[in-house]
Each structure stands twice: as structure tokens, then as C-alpha cells.
A and B are shown apart, each in its own frame.
Chain A
Amino acid sequence: KQEVTQIPAALSVPEGENLVLNCSFTDSAIYNLQWFRQDPGKGLTSLLLIQSSQREQTSGRLNASLDKSSGRSTLYIAASQPGDSATYLCAVKAQGAQKLVFGQGTRLTINP
């Protein structure tokens, strides 16, 4: 059974810092991994999708990496801003499955 873990559960940093969020998964046989952002009481906004054959994806100040063999992904946020404050979730789609399996999320607070 695929399990996804995100560490830390919460993170608070001053504005302007670069930061890394971590995601680990137990079964390396995945189709893809997706990072989402969730604002309080809202739905999920897709940030980046990494295919199983890719090592990283970039969008603006965000960079996500994938190491399938070790079961890890990181989301790097450069030059953080207060507007980046949200919960960040990673989710994997296992081979042979259609559903996404989510981690519990990292609640990020950027302090002005």
C-alpha cells in the first residue's frame, strides 16, 4: 500500500528566504507526482506535475525534484513571499492506479 509522508508538518520562515518542503513515498512504482497548494477552506491548486521519467519541473519561483529510487520529492520555493503562505500537499499516482495518494501536507507561513 502506497503511503506518502510530508515533513515538516508546519514551517514558519521570514519573507525572502529560500525553503524546501519534503515528500516521501513508500512504493517507487509511480506514474507521476503532483504538488498542490491549498489555502484555508479552499480547494487544491495544482502547482507542478512531475512524470515518472522526469527528474524535475520548474514554474516561476517553484522547482520540484523527483528521485523515484529513493522515494523522495522536494519542492523548492525561492525568495518566499507572504502570499506563499498556504498548505502544500504532494500526491503520487501509483502504477496501475488512477487515484492520487496524498500526504498530510506542510502548513507554510511566511512572515513579513
Chain B
Amino acid sequence: DTGVSQDPRHKITKRGQNVTFRCDPISEHNRLYWYRQTLGQGPEFLTYFQNEAQLEKSRLLSDRFSAERPKGSFSTLEIQRTEQGDSAMYLCASSLLLSRDTEAFFGQGTRLTVV
């Protein structure tokens, strides 16, 4: 499978615990995005990377959230001290920087449930 891969697919955690998600983009894609989607809503932008540089962060990304893309390949999204409001689907997407009009491809998402 050469698409965007996310791991794990599902995560159940207790409130207050830390969780980390991983995203492997399409191999030649240099842009990587994280989105969050709650039930019945469209995805909302969290942050994006161009290669290893984090170029934009949403106000939704509180100080409990941190994302990295250390070698410009895979990325991790960590949530510290999880809260019930963090329960959502976390989606990763990637695209290739050729021009401004490039298609974004999404992974299957990580479903987080905070109990």
C-alpha cells in the first residue's frame, strides 16, 4: 500500500494520560498535514509541515499538543494530559509541493476515545 498510513487506527485512553500517533505520508510527498474531526463535523486543520519545518499551527493546537516531523518523512502527534474533549478522529494528509494546486491525500485516521 503506497497511500498515507496512520497508526494506531484506534486508541482508548484514560483521562490525563499521554498519547502519541504516527503518520507515514506518501513517500515523495514533502507536505504533511494534521486535522481533527469530531462526529458529524468536517475535519479542522491543526498543523502542517513542509519537509521537517512546522510552518503553521492552528489555535486549536493547545500547548498540550505537539507535532514533529524530525527527518521530513513520518510525523508524530502527541497529546499530553488528555481530556474528554480530545476524543475525535485525527487525520493525516500529505501532498507534493509542485505548485499551489496540488491534491491532498488522507490516511484512514486514528480514532481517539478518552474515558
- Pick the interface stretch among B12-20, B42-50, B63-71, B76-84: B42-50
Known contacts A41-B111, A104-B42; is A34 also within 8 Å of B56 by CB?
no
A36 within 8 A of B: yes
Chain A residues lying within 8 Å of B108, measured Cβ to Cβ, are: 42-43
A contact residues, range? 20 to 34
Residue positions of B touching A, CB distance < 8 A: 4, 6, 31, 33, 35, 40-45, 48, 55-56, 58, 91, 93, 100-101, 103-109, 111
Chain A residues positioned under 8 Å from B91 (CB to CB): 43-44
Are the CB atoms of A31 and B106 closer together than 8 Å? no
Interface centre among B33, B40, B48, B106 (most CB of A within 10 A): B106
Which of B45, B48, B55, B106 is within 8 Å of A43, CB to CB?
A: B106
Contacts of A44 in B (CB 8 A): 43, 91, 93, 106
Q: Which residues of A contact B6 (CB under 8 A)?
A: 43
